[in-house]
Each structure stands twice: as structure tokens, then as C-alpha cells.
Structure 1
């Protein structure tokens, strides 16, 4: 066999080996994802198939007592307060955090890029790496007492959870917003300035509109992280399974009740199946957020 034939044979074998390795890796990932989805779904639907709980009561009921039975002999699994708490803290955190994050991204990329990249960007990256338990402990030590002294109540509630989540998702949305703004071609900026637009007009009318899909993706990604956050919110929200009438009253989320109760239930019992139903809802909401991110990521203004 000549050297040329040997090199050709080696390249063919290397390519086949790479394809086999890639296909095997992808297949394993798909199998793991399907297995997790099937396992959580089978456990989550047990509340309605085995324990005969009502799906309507699950989404509209206001009492969460899976260990008790109603007059019809079905578990009391009204998850509306938990759903309300999860969406409340997520939406409020996104509303507060989005303008701050986009403004910080604009400052670091368009107004003071050197200072932003040398000083602010490392700080943002440091905030991303802080564990959630640290945010929760800071919220428990600082935010809750502050709210108790100035707004009344116990300090635990939607307001405390919103503040903690806002600080948590701020670096995530800021980093992704910076990537979206930096992806705008320099030719578009130069064309706007060449037509006589000021820097602020270019930022507002050109850069923000061009990077809008990326900015929306960053916001949705931050909301996905906020919706699935458990420990930090659990430490400051109060974990009361009621629909609060004010921001300073204790509330609860899907993740807080799930993390508190999973270690104290028996597999196969109604209480355990109800918690798996909450886990299934969290999984489905994560899929919804992923689909939204994928749709927004395909949009292009230019």
C-alpha cells in the first residue's frame, strides 16, 4: 500500500470513527432526555390516574393538602396559589430587571465599551457564578428585615422573592443582551451615523430594533431561570400555600413546595405523586420557554 493510499484510508477511518462517536453521543443524549420526560410524566400523571384527583381542581383549587381527602375521597391538590406565586415573582422580576439589564448592556457595548469590558463585564460574570443559596441568604439577612421595617408584615413574600430573583437574573440577561447588541453589524451603525443620526438615535432606532430578537431571547432566558429557581426563593417567600393579597404577605411557588416536601413523602403515595405533578408542570414550562427562545432566535430584523 502506497503512502497516498494509506493516508486516504486513515482519513476515511477517522471520519467514520468521528461519525460513530457523534451519533452515539447524540443518541445517548436523546435517550436520557426522553427517559427523564417519560419518568416525570408517568409520576406526574399518577395524581390523576391512580389517586383520581381532578385536573380542573389542580389548576383552579386554592387548597394544597395532598395528604387529605375531600368529600369525594380525592386528594386536595389545588395548585393555583403555587402557580400564581411562581408566575408573579417571575413576571415582576423580569419587568424590573429587563430595563436595567438592557441599559447596562448598552452602556458596556455602545457608550463605554473599554470600561465596560475591563471592569463591568468581569463583575457581571462573577455575579453569574454566585450560588443561589448565597443570594437567598443575603435576601434573608438584608431584604427581609428591610421590608419588615419599612413596609410592615413579616418581610417574607412576593416582594422579597422578586427582589432576590431580580438580582439573580440581572447578570444573565445583561450578558445575553450584550451578545445580542454586539452581533449587530458595524455597517448598520456606520450607515446610520453617515445619514446624520446621533449616537442616541442610532442606539434607539437602529441598534435596539435590530437586536430586538436577541434581547427578547435574553429576557425569556432570564425568566426561565427565575421560574425554575428553588432555594433562593424558598428562603425569602414565606412558603405559605395561599394567594397573597399584597406583596408583603407570605406566598409560595412550585419549586419551593416541591423542594420542601419531596424529602418527607413516600414514593407512590398521594403526597409524593402530587409533588411529581408539580415537577411535571415545571418541566413543561421549561419546554415552553425553550420553544419561545428557539422561535425568537430564528427571527432576524436584517
Structure 2
């Protein structure tokens, strides 16, 4: 197999001071990428700041002969997002890839939701993805080869999880961001995908520092590397990965049931099995495709 080398491409990794982000940054650098290692260095709940985690990852990369710069700005603000991208432009004059990995957790059941905590979670995850991706997207539009953006979603957003309403909502919001960016970036050669990693990190309270551990972050890194590479085969997709397992997730639409005239709640209930039957499901990739499906149903028969 031909090695996936980055040949000096510039890749930003947020939240790269430890865990998954650190694994991503190291694998990218070892393949020749020039890496912006971003990490505010706060706690798992997003409190405080510490420059040492990002700086230490940069030291490892440089000791191995790679190129990297550290950045300590917060993804949670527009100014921070711009500064992170500017760090890449100042150092190397371009941005070829972004992996939006930074995250915090402040879990609380919905009935006991602290709205300040919820806003902080949404600011880091959803707005963090927007704050970093937007200036990177603009920079990538000037690249002859476009670029790649990887947004970090979660099984909690795709499927739900007790106590993670704000986190799950933010993570599913990133899927919506990804799908729209895929459409807007296509003509400029920008590919955008979402990754739902499963790994032991400080956020999950079961850190797996041993690379051979079942849920070691290193076992997720291969797909993050592939999605950030110029030969990335996907665009607008969602992937779940962990423990050496990789899977594509998708949004499906059943064939459904239609009654253009005189439909009632009662007739809908009577045909509910047809509405929910997954046989022959479709995978629309845009709102336009959904409209086309509906328009076909409205055609005279």
C-alpha cells in the first residue's frame, strides 16, 4: 500500500494537548504534516487554562523531526477561532486541513439542567466547530487543492444518552453544519466529514494511555488521518470509530406512505406500518433530494 503522506500540508487539530487530539496530531506529523497543536489546557469541564499540554505535544513532534506550533486560544469564541487559523497562516501561509476535536463535558439530567453549563458545552462543541471552521473554510477556498474539515460528533448526539442533552444537541448540530459545508465547499474542492470517536479519554474518565488498550485513542487516529488527507474518499459522511472498528453512519428515509387528499390522523395511524417500514429506504444527501422525492409523489398517476 502507498503510504498516506502529507508532504507539508498544514493541519490544525483543536484539543490536541491530550487524548484523541494528541494521537491525531502525532500521527499527522509523523506523516509529514505541519501541525497547529491547539489546546486551551482547561479542565474536563472547561475551567482554567494551561499552556503545557499543547507545548508538550509540540516538543514531541519536533523531537521526532516534525514541524508544529502550539496555540492556546479557546475555540469557544469567534476571536479564538480566528486566532487558531491565523496561527497556521502566520507559520506556513495556508490551511489544508482542520480536525475540530476540542471538547468539554458538564453532564446533567435535563430536569436539572444548569443553563450556564449547557451554554458552555454548546459554545465549545457547536460554536467551537463554527468558530474554527469558518475562517479555515475561507482560507481553503484560496487553496488550489481545497481542503478537508473533520468535525467531531458523538454517539450521544446521533443516538442520545442520559444526562447529555446539551452535549448531544451540540454534537448533532455539528452534523447539520457538516452537511451544509459539504454542499458549500464542493466547488472549491473542500471535503467535510464528521467523526464520532469511541475512546478512553479524560472526558470519559477511563484514560487509555497504553496504545494497545482496547479503547486507546491511537486506534481512532487512522480514520482522522484519512479524513484529513488530500486523498480522502468521503465527503458529507458520518463515521463512528473505536477499538480498531470503523463504520459509516447514515440518515435514511423510508419509502413512506402518501395520501395527497383527505388525509387524516386516523388514516395516518391506519397506515403507520407503511410510514415506518424500512424496506427500500433511501439516503438523500440534501434538502433538494428530499424535495425531488416529494415532487415525484405529487405527480399525477
TM-score bracket, normalised by the shorter chain, equals under 0.3
Higher relative contact order (CA 8 A, sep 6+): 1
Q: Which has a greater percent of strand?
A: 2
User: What TM-score comes out, normalization by structure 1 length?
Assistant: 0.24
Which protein has the bigger helix share? Answer: 1
